[in-house]
Amino acid sequence: MRENILEIKNLSKSYYNDSGTRQIVLEGMNFQIKSDENAGSFVSILAPFGSGKTTLLKIFAGLENSEGKVCLNGKRITEPTGEIIYIPEQSSSFPWLNVKENIELPSKLYKRGGKKFTFNVNELINLVGLSGYENFYTSSSTSGFRLRIAIARALSFDPKFILLDDVLKNLDGETRSELIELLRVLTAEKNISFLLATTNISDAILLSHKIFLMRKNPGQILKEIEITEYSQIHNSEIITKYKNEIEIELKSHGMFHSVLVSP
């Protein structure tokens, strides 16, 4: 079995504000995420608002630089690659293109750079639940609809990891439940590996094999929590058990009111 290992070593990130003061966003972060090519994994970073989780995901994806190292399978990441795909909080689509064209667009753009794409666009459309919408234009589409397109577009790269930046945050209850189920199916049945940064405890528990708790000012990893009953996570008693464990940890660091407890 071949493992994919996404790792950060001594990672820090800072910037200077308008007054010239240095602001430390992330400091001394070290952790590792593993996935097997024959078994998908889902890892969440549960963090308060303003903790630098978006910055962290962008560093993973090669979209921002940092101090320290970010490596995929031992190779340092210094620029975007098709192996790690980042999906922002507000997924976008091109309103002048239909669903099929939106999903195919990266393959047309990157073909010039020599990257080979082997996906079947109709299979991806079916996989994310958009069958029948192939020719639908997205100018009036909902956030959940655009997220499905973004996931299909990410899958077209055949990536090692897909990074999700609080993508469920602004969805209504029904759409959120549908997307959680889709992500679980992609993880368990299609062997896709995801890393979600979220402010929502429930999202993290329902989706994850592992949760990293992250603090702010500066951003640092506090604790790693394994979800050992992943296949039974819809059981309310199991959900409550993990919520209580996480809430106790957050309260001990004065962070409980900085995250969302329920959907």
Set out the domains of the chain in order of their start, with CATH numbers. 3-258 (3.40.50.300)
102, burial (CB in 10 Å: exposed 0-12, middle 13-18, buried 19+): buried
Cα 136 to Cα 93, 96, 97, 218: the distances in Å are 12, 10, 8, 44
Cis peptide before 218 (omega within 30 of 0): yes
**Can you give the pTM of this predicted structure?**
0.92
17, burial (CB in 10 Å: exposed 0-12, middle 13-18, buried 19+): exposed
Query: Scanning the structure block, which residue is given the tokens 């996480």?
Result: 246
User: For residues 99 and 250, what is the distance between their CA atoms, to the nearest angstrom?
Assistant: 41
Per-residue pLDDT of the chain (263 residues; tens, 9 = 90+): 578 889 999 999 998 888 888 989 999 999 899 887 777 899 999 998 889 999 999 999 999 999 999 999 999 998 988 899 999 998 888 889 999 999 998 877 765 555 567 778 999 999 999 999 999 998 888 999 999 999 999 999 889 999 999 999 989 989 999 999 999 999 988 889 999 999 999 999 999 999 999 998 899 999 999 998 888 888 888 889 999 999 888 888 887 767 766 55
User: For residues 70 and 211, what is the distance between their CA atoms, to the nearest angstrom?
Assistant: 19
**pLDDT value at position 116?**
65
The closest alpha carbon to 137, from 102, 100, 104, 98, belongs to: 98
**pLDDT value at position 260?**
64
What six digits make up the tokens of 36? 């097997």
**pLDDT value at position 88?**
94
User: For residues 151 and 225, what is the distance between their CA atoms, to the nearest angstrom?
Assistant: 26
What six digits make up the tokens of 115? 């990257």
**pLDDT value at position 114?**
55
**pLDDT value at position 251?**
87
Q: Are strands 84-87 and 42-46 parallel, antiparallel or unpaired?
A: unpaired
